[in-house]
Amino acid sequence: MRPAGHIVIGDPGSDRVIERDTLQCVHCGAHFVIQPGSGNRRGFCLCCNGPTCGRPECDVCVPTEQKLENIEAGRPIDHRTPRVAVGGLDCLR
């Protein structure tokens, strides 16, 4: 997977600089640091074909763009329109 961003953390008290790549959740837009073996629960949405941050509210497939459209239209943020079943997956398309 390609990184969606990059973070640079510097400690003012030392010369140490930490650089890490980040991924972006396809359901909420949050960025998170890639840390293999950290024990953090992450996911991958087969409908959106991208990573998810692992928060429980991101388990349901409502892409970031759909959430923004819902806010603009005054609908509940988790409103899902039209649904298509693809090979047993409950996706928005």
| 34: pLDDT strictly greater than 90 | no
Q: What is the DSSP letter of 73?
A: H
- Please report the pLDDT score of residue 6 as a whole number: 92
| 93: pLDDT strictly greater than 60 | no
Mean pLDDT of all residues in 54-68: 89
CB atoms within 10 A of CB 80: 16
What is d(CA 45, CA 52) in angstroms, rounded to the nearest whole number? 7
Q: What is the pLDDT of residues 10-29, one digit of tens each?
A: 988 888 998 999 999 999 99
DSSP-derived pairing of the beta strands 50-52 and 5-10: unpaired
